[in-house]
């Protein structure tokens, strides 16, 4: 692993971006890595754009600022791609994972990305089918595991299950694990 892997999430209030960035940090800790997970939003409410950030490293992390040059970008709401440059600062080797039913090549064209890797997964469809509501955060975590390898799928499943079971019960935890597994299996990339 690189010294620090920097991840930036783009979504809207109510899609679970804040929770996902916190859970991802917990998953990294479980693997014995150093991590940070924090959101960036103002007084906005449900539906307003927000960002989440993660740093994951094998060494201590001393940075404490928003991520402007991510290694990985997760776009939880693809409508944001028409409003802001979600890939701003993403390097030539970067990875962009988009919650979208479209093909990765169409997403690449829309983003005007020349290098890097683009992945798509219909995380909203998965969350509606599995959870009964459009909260695609855990599905996006499954896609992240497959597309980047930054964390092990088993670790993410174990931690998300533990966190959700404690807070919401086993049935909700099991459904979120199913969403993670489906997204891991269904993510497409180029």
Residue boundaries of the structural domains of the chain: 4-189
Stated as kind and residue range, the H or E segment containing 188 is strand 188-189
| Residue 32 · residue 151 · CB < 8 Å | no
Q: What is the pLDDT of residue 1?
A: 45
**8: closest CA among 98, 114, 134?**
98
pLDDT of 42 reads 67
138: left (phi over 0), alpha (psi -120 to 50) or beta: alpha
Q: What is the reported pTM?
A: 0.95
Characterize the bridge pairing of strands 117-121 and 72-75: unpaired
pLDDT of residue 2: 54
Residue (of 127, 22, 10) closest to 75 by Cα position: 10
Please tell me what DSSP assigns to residue 46. T
Predicted local distance difference test score (pLDDT) of residue 44: 62
Helices 153-168/170-186 angle, 10° precision: 150
Query: CA 78 to CA 100: how far, in whole Å?
Result: 6
Name the residue among 83, 183, 186 with its Cα closest to residue 142: 183
Per run of 10 residues, the mean pLDDT along the chain (length 190 residues) is 87 92 97 95 77 96 94 97 95 96 96 94 98 96 97 98 96 98 97
Q: Could you report how far apart the first and last alpha carbons of the chain are, in Å?
A: 21
| Residues 6 or more apart in contact with residue 189 via CB below 8 angstroms | 104, 117, 118, 119, 120, 147
**pLDDT of 46:** 78
Q: Are 7 and 70 in contact (CB under 8 A)?
A: yes
At the fourth CATH level, the homologous superfamily of domain 4-189 is: Pyruvate-ferredoxin oxidoreductase, PFOR, domain III (3.40.920.10)
User: How far apart are the C-alpha atoms of 26 and 125, rounded to whole Å?
Assistant: 26
Per the CB < 8 A criterion, the answer to whether 28 and 159 are in contact is: no
């Amino acid at each position: 692993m690189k010294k620090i892997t920097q991840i930036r999430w783009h979504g809207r209030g109510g899609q679970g971006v804040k929770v996902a960035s916190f859970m991802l940090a917990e998953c990294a800790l479980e693997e014995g890595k150093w991590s940070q997970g924090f959101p960036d939003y103002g007084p906005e409410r449900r539906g307003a754009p927000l960002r989440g950030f993660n740093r994951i490293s094998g060494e201590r992390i001393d940075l404490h600022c928003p991520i402007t040059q991510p290694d990985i970008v997760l776009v939880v709401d693809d409508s944001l791609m028409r409003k802001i440059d979600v890939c701003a600062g993403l390097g030539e080797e970067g990875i962009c994972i988009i919650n979208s039913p479209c093909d990765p090549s169409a997403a690449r064209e829309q983003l005007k990305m020349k290098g890097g890797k683009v992945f798509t997964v219909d995380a909203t469809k998965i969350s509606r089918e599995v959870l009964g509501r459009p909260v695609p955060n855990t599905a996006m975590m499954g896609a992240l595991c497959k597309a980047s390898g930054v964390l092990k799928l088993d670790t993410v499943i174990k931690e998300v299950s533990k966190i959700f079971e404690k807070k919401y019960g086993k049935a909700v935890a099991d459904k979120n694990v199913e969403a993670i597994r489906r997204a891991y299996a269904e993510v497409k990339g180029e």
